[in-house]
Structure 1
Amino acid sequence: MDIDAVIVPSADHFGGTVPEELVKVRDVITTSPENTYARWAIPSPSLPVGGM
């Protein structure tokens, strides 16, 4: 399937835990509670060394 995310009511839809195997290939979004299990994280920007 050519999809980026799976949207489910809650992690209970999977028996209480979002499967790691699924998160490796698709983002998983739960609506209650609102949460996103992303395939990859966006790193925070690096701060300059030594200040300004």
Structure 2
Amino acid sequence: MIGINERALAALKGEKQLIIVDGAGHLFEEPGTMDEVVRHATRWFLEHLVPERLRQ
């Protein structure tokens, strides 16, 4: 799955980052792995989509 994600990342334009969640399978069913994905995604959205004046 990492190879597929790396190819998808290469095709994307703009700000991007691939983060590998240690111990996670491709469905993120392992305890705590989906929570980590949510934290990373939330941080990215706040940094790139929310105006700085609204960040707290």
TM-score by length of 2: 0.21
**Bigger strand share:** 1
> Which of the two has higher C-alpha Rg?
1
Q: Which has the higher contact order (CA 8 A, sep 6+)?
A: 1
